[in-house]
Amino acid sequence: MKTKAWGNLIYPMAPGRITAKPRQQGLTMILDRCQGLNETQDLLALSGDYIDYIKLSFGTSVLVDETLLRRKIELARAHQIDIYPGGTLMEVALFQGVYPQFVRRAKALGFTALEISDGSISIPRSVRQDCIKQALDAGLKVITEVGKKDPTLYVPPAEMVEQIADDLALGAEKVIVEAREAGRGIGIYDEEGRLRDDEMALILRYLGQRQDEVMWEAPLPSQQSALILRGGPNVNLGNVKPNDVLGLEAMRCGLRFETFRHFAPQPVLLQMDLTARQAMEYAG
- Domains of the chain (ranges; CATH) run 28-253 (3.20.20.70)
Query: Over 80: is that where the pLDDT of 68 sits?
Result: yes
Q: Show the beta-strand stretches assigned E in the chain.
A: 28-32, 53-56, 82-85, 113-116, 141-146, 174-177, 214-217, 237-240
Q: What is the pLDDT of residue 209?
A: 84
Query: Over 60: is that where the pLDDT of 277 sits?
Result: no
What's the pLDDT tens digit per position in 181-215? 777 888 889 899 999 988 888 889 888 888 999 99
Q: What is the pLDDT of residue 263?
A: 87
Neighbours of 209 (CB within 10 A): 6
Q: What is the pLDDT of residue 271?
A: 57
Range ranked top by mean pLDDT from 74-88, 176-190, 260-274: 74-88
Give the C-alpha distances (Å, rounded to integers) separating 212 from 24, 109, 130, 168: 8, 30, 25, 12
Q: Is 170 exposed, middle or buried (0-12, 13-18, 19+ CB in 10 A)?
A: middle
What's the pLDDT tens digit per position in 107-137? 999 999 999 998 888 899 999 999 999 999 9
pTM, to two decimals: 0.91
Identity of the residue numbered 70: R
More confident residue, 138 or 160: 138
Task: Quote the CA–CA distance of 149 and 175 in Å, as a whole number.
Answer: 16
Query: Over 80: is that where the pLDDT of 229 sits?
Result: yes
The mean pLDDT of 85-97, rounded to a whole number, is 95
